[in-house]
Structures are given as C-alpha cells and as structure tokens.
Structure 1
C-alpha cells in the first residue's frame, strides 16, 4: 500500500454520528450491506463471548479466571484462553499465569499453569498449527544477574529485572505439557556501559541485539520491556513481538532449535535468536532521535494472513502512549525484504519504512485514543476491525474509512449493563476483538442460532437497523402473512425502491426491486430481517418463514 490517510473532515464525522442509533451499549451502529458478515470474539471478566453483527450471543464460555489476556477460537471449535490466577510475586499489568482450552460446549479440556516466584505467563499466547501453544513468560533476573549482563546499577530501581521468554508447549493430558522450544531476550543483549561485564559492544553497530540500558524515557522498572503480544507467521516460520515500554516491534526466527535460539547463528535465516527486523523507535539502537520515534505503546502487531488485502504486511494498533496530543492510530507497514522473510539490514540508518505505509486515525465520535490494550484486524472484504481497548469500543471501517459497524462491550468489572446505561460509568476494558468469517471451519456443523444480546433491555430493531427512520416506520405499512410460507405481501403508502432480506446472522440472502407479492418459498425456515428502502430512508421488520 503506497498511500497515506490522516484525519478526515468534520463533515464525515457528522454523517457517521447522524446514522447512529440511540443505543448506549452493545451495537451502536450497524450497516449490514457494508459490514463484514462474521462473528466477533472477545473476553471480559470470566466470560468469553462470540456475537453476531446484531450483538446476539452465538456462544459463550465461562472460566474460573479473569483474562490473562489473549483468547483465540481454533478451527476445530475449541477456545484457547489465558487466565489470571493472581501471582503475588510478579505483579504488573497483564499478568495471567494459566492457559486453558475449552471445547465448543464450554467444557475445560486442558489447562497449563505458568506461575511461580520466578516466572509468570502474561498478555499473550498463540495456537500453533501443530497443536502446540506459544506462551509469553516473564522470568526473574536478580540484580546481580542484570548487572553482570551489563545493566547500569543506577537503572535498577527494583530488586529484580524481568527477562522476557517465549516457550512452545506441547499439551499433554488434562493439565500437562512438554516444553519443546524456548527463546529468551537475555540471550540477545548488548551494552556499552561496562567493558568488564557481559554483552559489551557497539550498540549502533549491532541492531540485531537489544541495549539493556535503553529505557525509552521511562524509569528503571523491573518490567522494562512489557512485551504485550506474540504472533506467529506460519509461512515464514517467524514470531513478531511487541514491546510497549520500548515502543518497538521485533521479528525473530522460530525455525531454530532451542540451542540456536540462544545464539546468533542457525535457523532458516542464519541469525539464531537475534532480531531479524525491528521497527518503531530507532533511538533504541542509536540510529535515530526522539523525532524519529513512530510507535508509542503499540499493541497486536501481526502479519496480515494470506488471501487478505495487504497480505504479508504488518498491521498494528499504535496507542499513542506518552505522546502529546493524545491520539491513537492503525498502522499497516511493509518491511523491505530481499526475499520473503529476509529483511533489508541497513548499514548505518534505521530500519525502513521511515513512516508507516498506511495510517488511520479519526474521531469515532471522539478522537481515537486508547492508552492501553487494543487491536486492529484486516478483514477479507477490505474493512478493518478496530478495538479501542480501554473503552471497550469496537468499530469496523470500510476502505473509504467510513464506520459501518460499532459496538460497545456492555460488560465489565461492575457487571452487565442495561441499554441506556452510560458505559463510562462501568470499566469495560477489552484486550482484543477478533472477527471470524462465517466460513471459518470452527462453525461447520455448529448450531449458530443466536441467543439474546449480552446487555439487558436490548432492542434488536435498533441494533440491526440504525438507519431506521421513524417517519417511514410509522406510515401505513402492511406486511403479511407473518409467519409466511410462500409469498409475502408488502404494501406501503411510501414508494418502496428496494427490498433486502438478511438471515439471523446478518447475511444477505435475498435482494429485489419492489414487488407487492414477494416469493420467499426458497428461504429456509427461520427468523429473517426484511429491509425496505424508500429513497434515503429504510425500515427493518422481522419476519418468520415457516
């Protein structure tokens, strides 16, 4: 993608705002013609929800633990989820400690605990194609170990320093696992503070290594890196990591053995466990200044899967933490490479691109800004799903950056909200929101009959048709018989231009120019939404096909 887009006009904002319904939680705006037909997965407190575009619950899983934080729906219909068990020895935002797997019916079929005085799972896990699970782990380095590694003692303000580790676990039984691969950041450090200690060298000449004394303007926290995401690219056999505190992303080789992963040679790309690529803050390797910093507390960088628009590029949510003025962005960037997975290694300059290839930020209706959490996902139809995590606000934008669907998580630490409640009164933070298309293998043969929305006192007529206009709705409109068998009669004082029928998952199943006698015998039995268009006005009515 070679273009860039920044702030849009206030006029566009007013158009979007005018189309919004009166809902305060759940589905706020919904345009079934442009929204990607899919089911959205997110976790809140002990619950994980799978909802359709009308906000109705398709499935729900219950854990004994609040999030810890990532959750994934696997192709076989099982749910992989990290949980927070409350480690009191290692305490920082995002800690979890247990990884769980549930079947479609909600039964716990595997769990694996990573929590002790010296290590804890946190933030992310990733389901591997071979059935194994990548797990992100913080492990303890004593101050003596940190100093021996080259840390400036003046930058050690706590009693320990956290190493970041990735382990690959092969599940065994109900609660066991074998660690089959391991990578540690402490094996890939450099420092120019003390020549008598380990890892001494020239920082600027070794961008494949991490300067143990770079803090990106932050104090000497034990949690100096705060890795908040690990994602895997099967085609390249690479892992991409995100450091919130250092404002960088890193790519490493997963094709190595554990021994090779601790060194700087071996693997497909010949660099062992060193960084193959890094981006976002060239100050960290002495090839830029503060003005060159591009990432600010970012979350969820990942490779766009094959078959999607901009496949192979990296998409992420750039939070904008510690930046003034405060605003967030969605970035899409393409790392320069000589061949797939072999990235251009600059001699004396920063890793390219100099700016993100695509940038999105705009009011939604207020400025897009999430201090923590959040995600962005490229969808098959070219739309992008954005999760504004600290307010539990999901929006889907089309290729022209129009908002075609928006949803506010109606559940949080104070319980489930009712329609009409102010979501600002109830913390409803959401780590990520991910859409799965209706053709996703997990849904094959499953009962996807929707239940009620999560929020109380919901109004599906509003949720499924924000363009509903009262003037049109109140005019004489006759639709009969309902339930209908073969032919639906539609009569109105308005001139009806167009007719669309959607199933209960929001999928368009029929469209036609207006006809008073509409044949529907080909529809399967069930609940449908009939949308009638009259000029710029629309109305939606529920119908039942028998």
Structure 2
C-alpha cells in the first residue's frame, strides 16, 4: 500500500494478467521492440543501433510465468506475416478458460491447464473492404500444449454485420487508418475480447444471444460493441456505431474510442450488465475529408 515493489516477473505484456496461485500471463517479446526484465536487462541482449523499431502491438511469444519466474506455458505459432518468424500476434486481450472477464469474481471455476482465447492480428487484402492491406482482428484458441484447437474468427468475414452506413463504408475503403511505414490499415482496432460467462439473461430466458460461450468485443476505431455467436461466427447483438436520434443507442450517447467492454459476472454488483470505459478523444468513420467522425474531450463509464 506504500507503493513499494514487492515482486517482479521477467515479463511484459498487453496486458499482463495474474492467475490464481501467483502465475502471470503476458509476453516475452513484443514485435518491433523488446520487453524489460528485472534489473533493466533486455532479453536478447542490447538493442540494435539506429532509430527505434516500429511498434506493432503484436506479441511474439505469449507465455505464462510462475511466481518464481519459471516459464509454465507458451504459444507462438499463429502467423509469421511474411517475416519468417512465427508469432502469436496477440494484442490487447486474451482469456484463460474459467475466467471469462480476466479478473476475480465469486464462483468462477478456474481451469489450471485450460484453453486460452487469443485476440490477434492477421494482415490481409480484402478488396470488398479496402484497396489497401488491412490489419484484421482475429480470435483463435490454443490448448495447454500451445496448439491451435481449430476455433478461429476473422472480423473481415463479417464486415456487412457491423452496421456501417454508406459514408463510413466509403471512408474505410480509403483507409484513413493506413500506416505508411507498416503498409497496413488498423481498420477496427479491436481492444477487448472476452466470453460473456454465466449470466441471468441466458439462465432466465434461454436467449441464445447471451449464451455464456458467446464472445463480446469492442472496436475502438469503429465505435461499436458486438457479441459474436461462437458456434456460427455471426454478430448477434451490437451497440453502435450509429447513435443518431432515430436509433435505440441514442439514449446511451455516442461512444468514442471505448475500451474493455465486458459483461459483469454473476456475484458482483450490476451482474449481467455490460460495463465499458468510454475513452473519448477522436474516432469513427465517415467524417469530412477523412477525419474522425466523432470527438469528445472527456471520458465516462
């Protein structure tokens, strides 16, 4: 409580999450950079000379480290993005089986050697979306041995389900998020992903939109929250990106660059509601001359 460091792990991450027993999940190395370790050392030796590398928000080795710093689990072999180096490409979020939202809640049944859902990137050219290569958001699953289980979900496959109007669709096509250095557009910038988990909506009515195995995501650049039917991949529930007067979303007020959307788990105040940190700033597609469509100079929850 005094701000003193009481323990360190040789790990970086986006984000780092603690598991029961003191183990942590995170990354050994981030693409385009190297994560710090205790004592200020850098894995792999000193950084190369010259300008700093371009950060990608991609994890190379995604690992689990024990309290004592021993590697207990890792995965790395999702995609090499034509670099020759296989990477997990994990970014922003992941969920270990038995812990849907990534923090403690009563009644959760943590699975010690469970499967892990991973939010990751995959670069691709999709002419229906843009004439430039996009950095698509992908969800995949790995088992305790670090192997892919076969479950994959690619955001680009569901472009027509995200609710973009004509002006937003045209803006996305011309890629205002295009990065000249990386030669790719971070078109959605999905920044959270989790299972819904057990909830009273499903228990009381059997509404399949809120099946505990379904997945909720948040798109920072496109201003929407959506629930994915895990069995079909379809978008079955969505808030945004349109919050205009003639929409049900209008009562909520416009989302701008929101993060960490998730369903509050059973046993906590507000259980079954969706909690979101609405950052503010600038985001959204379809503004004049390619600028973000919406701005707000404060945050809210």
Where on the TM-score scale, by shorter chain, does this alignment land: which range?
0.5 to 0.7
Cα distance 1:215–1:229, how it changes in 2: closer, same or farther (>3 A)? farther
1:176-224 alpha-carbon deviations (Å, 9 max, x no partner): 423341111122222xxxxxxxxxxxxxxx6679999265897153111
**How far did 1:320 drift?**
0.2
**How far did 1:91 drift?**
6.0
Provide the secondary structure at the position in 2 that maps to 1:137.
strand
Aligned to 1:71: 16
What is the aligned counterpart of 2:176 among 219, 224, 231? 219
Contact preservation (8 Å) 1:281, 1:292: no
1:306-365 alpha-carbon deviations (Å, 9 max, x no partner): 1111011111211102265511111xxxxxxxxxxxxxxxxxxxxxxxxxxxxxxxxxxx
Cα distance 1:289–1:168, how it changes in 2: closer, same or farther (>3 A)? closer
Within a 5 Å distance, the mapping from 1:144-155 to structure 2 comes to 146-147=126-127, 150-151=128-129, 153=131
Structure 1 segments, 4+ long, off by >6 Å, are: 208-212, 288-292
1:111 aligns to 2:84 (yes or no)? no
Using the size of structure 2 for normalisation, the TM-score is 0.65
Cα distance 1:108–1:168, how it changes in 2: closer, same or farther (>3 A)? same
Unaligned residue ranges in structure 1 (runs of 5+): 1-52, 191-205, 257-271, 331-546
1:189 aligns to 2:159 (yes or no)? yes
1:299 aligns to 2:282 (yes or no)? no
Q: Distance in 1 between matches of 2:170 and 2:140?
A: 25
Within a 5 Å distance, the mapping from 1:121-520 to structure 2 comes to 121-129=90-98, 130=111, 131-142=114-125, 146-147=126-127, 150-151=128-129, 153=131, 156=132, 160-172=133-145, 176-190=146-160, 213=169, 215=171, 219-221=176-178, 222-235=185-198, 236-254=212-230, 256=231, 272-282=232-242, 294-322=254-282, 324=295, 326-330=297-301
What is the aligned counterpart of 1:99 among 62, 65, 73? 62
Cα distance 1:247–1:305, how it changes in 2: closer, same or farther (>3 A)? same
Contact preservation (8 Å) 1:139, 1:163: yes
**How far did 1:162 drift?**
2.1
Contact preservation (8 Å) 1:238, 1:252: yes
User: Is 95-104 or 76-85 further displaced after alignment?
Assistant: 76-85
Q: Distance in 2 between matches of 1:243 and 1:121?
A: 16
Provide the secondary structure at the position in 2 that maps to 1:315.
strand
Contact preservation (8 Å) 1:87, 1:115: no
Unaligned residue ranges in structure 2 (runs of 5+): 34-52, 99-110, 179-184, 199-211, 283-293
Instruction: Decide which structure has the larger Cα Rg and report it.
Output: 1
Q: Distance in 2 between matches of 1:127 and 1:215?
A: 36
Cα distance 1:98–1:293, how it changes in 2: closer, same or farther (>3 A)? farther
Cα distance 1:324–1:234, how it changes in 2: closer, same or farther (>3 A)? closer
Provide the secondary structure at the position in 1 that maps to 2:147.
strand
Q: Distance in 2 between matches of 1:295 and 1:318?
A: 6
Q: Distance in 2 between matches of 1:210 and 1:74?
A: 42
Provide the secondary structure at the position in 2 that maps to 1:151.
coil
- Structure having the higher strand fraction is 1
Provide the secondary structure at the position in 1 that maps to 2:31.
coil
**How far did 1:124 drift?**
1.6
Task: Let me know the Cα RMSD of the aligned residues.
Answer: 3.5
Contact preservation (8 Å) 2:141, 2:152: yes
Contact preservation (8 Å) 1:96, 1:123: no
Provide the secondary structure at the position in 2 that maps to 1:60.
coil
Question: Matched residue pairs, number?
Answer: 229
1:388-414 alpha-carbon deviations (Å, 9 max, x no partner): xxxxxxxxxxxxxxxxxxxxxxxxxxx
Aligned to 2:10: 62
Q: Distance in 2 between matches of 1:275 and 1:178?
A: 23
- Bigger relative contact order (CA 8 A; separation at least 6): 1
Contact preservation (8 Å) 1:281, 1:293: no
Cα distance 1:208–1:76, how it changes in 2: closer, same or farther (>3 A)? farther
Q: Distance in 2 between matches of 1:220 and 1:104?
A: 40
Cα distance 1:325–1:70, how it changes in 2: closer, same or farther (>3 A)? closer
Using the size of structure 1 for normalisation, the TM-score is 0.38
